[in-house]
Amino acid sequence: MIKKFIMLFVLTCSLVAYDSTVEIVKRMDRLPKIIFQDASSENMQQGFLQKFHKIIAGDLRVSSHFLVDDTYFKSSFDGNLQENFMSETKSDLILRYQLSFQEDENILAKIKLINAKNGQTDFYKIYQISDTQRYPFLAHKIAVDINAYIGAPDIKWMEQFVIFAKYTDAKQSEIVISDYTLSFQKTVLKGGLNIFPKWANKNQDAFYYTSYNGAKPTLFKVYLSSGKRERVYASDGMIVCSDVSKDGNKLLVTMAPQGQTDIFLYDLTSKKMQKLTQYQGIDVGANFIDDDSRIVFVSDRLGYPNIFAKTIGDSSLEQMVYHGKNNNSLSAIENYIVYSSREKESEFGSGTFNLYLISTQTDFIRQLTASGVNLYPRFADDKETILYIKYLKDQSALGVIRLNANKSYHFPLKVGKIQSIDW
């Protein structure tokens, strides 16, 4: 019974971190209105062109730096008087793109950003990708560049890979890499129960995961380019890598070798495992903070899951959250923590988990979601974007919160159910 409770608890425990209520430095008096023109050949598959249009329009909408009119317009690439102004749309900018497949099956994209007030091309660039299945990342790259050109805050997080585990059947799961919209998905591991993937570094060229397919739960590392798999560590009960140090040499690991979960620090160079917590209960889901000198983690020391912090090598603890009675997943960096908290009975039922943002230096609490089951928050490097899992009855989705815009977006997973994420 204890092991079942541990597993249920850990399946709702989160990972890494980042800042949050950051002000947009370059604020505009008014968001520029942008429209899109497809100048691709009529020989291009229309379904593909519509998908590309939907993604790039969605990217600029999610950026929160544009007023997006996602009407699908066709045009020539050189443009004429009407196409270069589109005065009836009352737009500020026109993003015109021309897609074509090359003989080597690469996708070539030419784009123009046109000032709709004077009809002049302000920005021109050519892109090429060799893997046609990754066309969503082509759209993301164009959106990132257009956003940068107008001087808006960085949205390079759109180019990052998301890695997630999804349940496919009883004791069966797959590990998948995708873009943040789930438009691109590639299964990188299948067969048995493989869960809790965690990127090994910022380059996203390797990842850790937990396998439940052997005699003991085992932590493995997989290199994406070669597919090579290395055994890292095994433990009775459970083992999960919840965070990786900035230099990639140390892992925060949750293990239960004697039937209770504690936080451990594993040094990949020396192969030594150091126990960081010692508690006759549950400590899980640790994250590094303060330049890897401290950790935050979830513990039931108060009789319910809550969030604590401690300095590595010091036994003293600090309670970080004074809100809620079931705070069971988190992400943190610098002075901010985003966490998931189970609500009391409400109009949405008793199973509601909402995300909250707090500062470690003030009593400020900001509620980020309003309903449903929202878990595994993860901060992006831009300090104002949070990725999380939203469960909708029998379906799951990736959720994106843009903090400064106070907006959220959901991207449903059509097959399977998301178990955990990292990016």
CA torsion, ordered 112, 115, 120, 126, to nearest 10 deg: -10
**Complete edge-to-edge strand list for the sheet that includes strand 250-255:** 239-244, 250-255, 262-267, 272-275
- For residue 20, pLDDT over 50 is answered with no
Q: Which residue has the tokens 């400020």?
A: 364
* CA dist., res. 168 & res. 292, Å (int): 35
* E strand map for 281-352: 283-289, 294-299, 306-311, 318-319, 327-333, 336-342
User: Is 0.75 topped by the overall pTM?
Assistant: yes
Q: Is the dihedral of CA 211, 212, 215, 219 positive or negative?
A: positive
- How far is residue 300's CA from residue 303's CA, in Å, rounded to a whole number? 5
Pair of tokens at residue 419:
């178990």
pLDDT bucket at 24, cuts 50 / 70 / 90: very low
Q: For 300-356, what is each residue's pLDDT tens digit?
A: 999 999 999 999 999 999 999 988 889 999 998 777 889 999 987 554 455 799 999
Domain map (residue ranges) of the chain: 14-23+157-422, 33-149
- Tokens for 385? 């974007």
Task: Classify domain 14-23+157-422 at the CATH topology level.
Answer: Neuraminidase (2.120.10)
Amino acid 347: pLDDT? 47
Least confident interval from 45-54, 65-74, 97-106, 293-302? 97-106
By mean pLDDT, which of 12-21, 52-61, 367-376 is the weakest?
A: 12-21
Q: What is the pLDDT of residue 371?
A: 87
Expressed in percent and rounded to 5, the helix, strand and coil fractions of the chain are: 15, 45, 40
Residue-averaged pLDDT of the chain: 90
Domain 33-149 has CATH 3.40.190.10: no
Could you give the percent of the chain with pLDDT greater than 70?
92
Q: Which residue type occupies 58? A: G
Instruction: Compute the distance between CA of residue 377 and CA of residue 387 in angstroms, rounded to an integer.
Output: 6
Q: Pull the structure tokens for residue 127.
A: 């892109």
For residue 3, pLDDT over 90 is answered with: no
Query: What pLDDT does 7 receive?
Result: 38
Name, in order, each residue with C-beta under 8 angstroms of 158's C-beta and a sequence gap of 6 or more. 59, 62, 63, 140, 143, 144, 179, 180
Q: Which residue has the higher pLDDT, 348 or 84?
A: 84
Shortest CA distance to 111 belongs to which of 121, 101, 103?
121
Note the pLDDT of residue 27.
Answer: 45
pLDDT band at 15 (very low <50, low <70, confident <90, very high): very low
Strand order in the sheet with 162-169: 185-190, 172-178, 162-169, 417-422
Q: Can you read off the two tokens belonging to residue 84?
A: 């270069």
- Exposed e or buried b per residue across 45-61, where buried means at least 16 C-beta atoms within 10 angstroms of its C-beta: eeeebeebbebbbbbbb
More confident residue, 348 or 222: 222
